[in-house]
Structure 1
Amino acid sequence: MEQCAQPSGGGRGNWKNFASTQAEEDAYDYVKFRVNPKPTGFVGSVAHAIKGALGGGILGGHVAFMKAGLIAAPCVFLFGVYMTYCLYMLVTSAQILFRRTRVSSMSYPDVGEAAMACFPNPSVAKWATAFRYSMDAIICIDLFGACACYQLIIAKSIKQLVENTQHPTMEGLGPVLCVLVTIYYAMQFNPSMSGLKVTTTAYSYFEFIGMSVFSMSCVGVVLPIENNMGNPKNFPKVLVTGKIIRIDLKFVVLRLCNI
């Protein structure tokens, strides 16, 4: 079958399923119609996936375990597997929609709206626009809320640093040296395993879940990464590789804290 050209008419607010058969769906090569002057390769995509989730949240791993206790340690691995599967389903669904709607790339809300709009049941399809806006709102709450958390973490850290100092100063103390000093004290002066709590309360466990998911999730960047890849078929490998590295780094931080 000839390669299908990208028709006009499909897009935001007007999504259409142009593939009536599986053969027509498979015939559309969405990568061919992408305009990426500098597409990313495998290594660059893995780096973006890691950076999308690796931030201040991973440094709060010991606080998360303090909330839930040592019994929650296996949950970090389980959360990583679960989130990887969810992100894989998201991107795989987006690639199916690329072929069905004859669109070469989509944003996160685009995927949600297109999936609803192309649903065979009209009573579901009519909510496509409302679903799109609800996704936009949830993403804003998630990302802006994360930024607000960083401000609180910075403010609290500065308070702990200067509250008992009459004349605080950071003159001459470079950021690299601060990181090295932090790692040194983390390895030398942390408590031992004895005395650490095994379990806590149910409410604290939910706090642990929120902190752990926050420190490993990259849901807001997976679609942009896929859209800019030179070979999007390699995205599952990118996703798994990035998630394994993030889980390993989280356990490294916990090990530095003797947890």
Structure 2
Amino acid sequence: MLVDSHCHLNLDPLNTGLEEVFRRAREQGIGHMLCVSVSLETFPEILELARHHSQVFASVGVHPNERDGHEPTVDDLVERARDGRVVAIGETGLDYFRSQGDMAWQQERFRRHIRAAKQSGKPLIVHTREAAADTLRIMREEDASACRGVMHCFTENWEVARAALDLDFYISFSGIVTFRNAGTLRDVAKQVPLDRLLIETDAPYLAPVPHRGKTNEPSFVRHVAECLADIRQIPLESIADVTTRNFFSLFRHATPG
């Protein structure tokens, strides 16, 4: 069995054909998926999906680039995380690629998510883009190792990966690792300890080879697993077993259905 540890099933165009998305996922051996929140406004539809589909889990959080919706407090996040189908806080973090200028607001939001994760006892899903130094600094200052979590859709170098591992975080690889120009990232994937490895799609974005440029979906996480199996020179079944075990170890409130 495989697990897609990060996707956005509530977004177009996935949300218009979910039964077919789920069918294709089952056919490829994907047993579970984590539907990740990017705003409090869309959180209810994510929670509804998780409540009605046993293979789907939910997170609650506000993406670092989100500016139009409700600004979450620690209490907002902790209260929503009480639901049993919510297994994580996030996605959160820092993104200096899409947002420029004074990033104090983004950094403070990230701190609130870390505090909510620690209070709720649920792990953190971290997004970082062109902000690795500040991301790691804030994680250390807020003692993010106390809640643990995952560096999702990892694209950084080995030094960043090692620093995150030192904070007791997992490293998740998306379809980017299959791209022809991702040689450096594949070198990182070769070094991450197997017991800290996760896989994801980030669907509907970042479809892996051989579907690059198309709408991504959870069934395609198999291609990420196959790529990692090739990189590590181990059977696909071993990647499936270890990443599934890692998922349920980190997201310990997720109950296999």
TM-score by length of 2: 0.24
| Bigger share in helix | 1
| Bigger share in strand | 2
TM-score by length of 1: 0.24
**Bigger radius of gyration among the two:** 1
